[in-house]
């Protein structure tokens, strides 16, 4: 299993079960993710991680979640931002393209009435943005991985 898949799986697992494990149990997710990725992790956060790549533009909205995993051998970040609706996908595409990111050529991703998936990359980072509806509106979830972690 490659490092990128392992890191992505660890992030998805952490996002899925972190709310269930908060409270009196503490947060064992940090150790699980560190074990899966072989690196450092800081969970959870309601801000952009301090070491989030400055070359990756983010939508200007309320940050509801942020984390970073990995170390010098590779790093991945996950940031969730509240957006006004699915039309935010166009702004996000423009921001990424303006920053020199190219859209995935494989035909993966797109926009429907229920959500959007955007996949972009450059020589340093791969950026996956998923826009979905939650209880109070829409959020854009960015997963950014360092291409050196492949």
DSSP 37: H
Tens digit of each residue's pLDDT (9 = 90 or more) over 88-131: 999 999 999 999 999 987 666 777 878 999 999 999 999 999 99
Tens digit of each residue's pLDDT (9 = 90 or more) over 70-89: 876 788 999 999 999 999 99
The pLDDT value recorded for residue 42 is 54
Tens digit of each residue's pLDDT (9 = 90 or more) over 15-34: 444 444 333 333 444 455 55
pTM tops 0.75, yes or no: no
Give Cα 9 distance to the centre of its chain: 12
Report how far residue 121's alpha carbon sits from residue 70's, in angstroms, rounded to the nearest whole number. 19
Take residue 102 and report the two structure tokens written for it: 């190219």
CA angle (102 as vertex; 101, 103 as ends), nearest 5:
125
Q: For all residues of the chain together, what is the average pLDDT?
A: 77
| H or E element at residue 92 | helix 88-98
Going from the C-alpha of 130 to that of each of 40, 67, 119, 135, the distances in angstroms are 24, 16, 9, 16
The pLDDT value recorded for residue 149 is 58
- Whether the CB-CB separation of 18 and 42 falls below 8 Å is answered with no
Going from the C-alpha of 27 to that of each of 21, 31, 131, the distances in angstroms are 6, 8, 27
- Residue 22: HSE in the Cβ half-sphere, 13 Å Cα cutoff: 8
């Amino acid at each position: 299993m490659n490092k990128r898949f392992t890191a992505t799986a660890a992030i998805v697992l952490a996002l899925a079960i972190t709310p269930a494990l908060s409270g009196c149990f503490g947060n064992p997710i940090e150790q699980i993710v560190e074990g899966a990725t072989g690196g450092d992790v800081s969970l959870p956060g309601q801000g952009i991680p301090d070491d989030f790549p400055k070359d990756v533009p983010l939508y200007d909205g309320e940050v509801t979640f942020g984390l970073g995993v990995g170390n010098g051998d590779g790093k991945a970040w996950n940031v969730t931002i509240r957006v006004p609706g699915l039309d935010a996908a166009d702004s996000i595409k423009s921001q990424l393209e303006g920053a020199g990111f190219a859209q995935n050529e494989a035909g993966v991703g797109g926009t429907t009435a229920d959500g959007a998936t955007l996949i972009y990359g450059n020589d340093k980072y791969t950026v996956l943005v998923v826009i979905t509806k939650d209880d109070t509106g829409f959020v854009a979830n960015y997963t950014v991985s360092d291409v050196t972690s492949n």
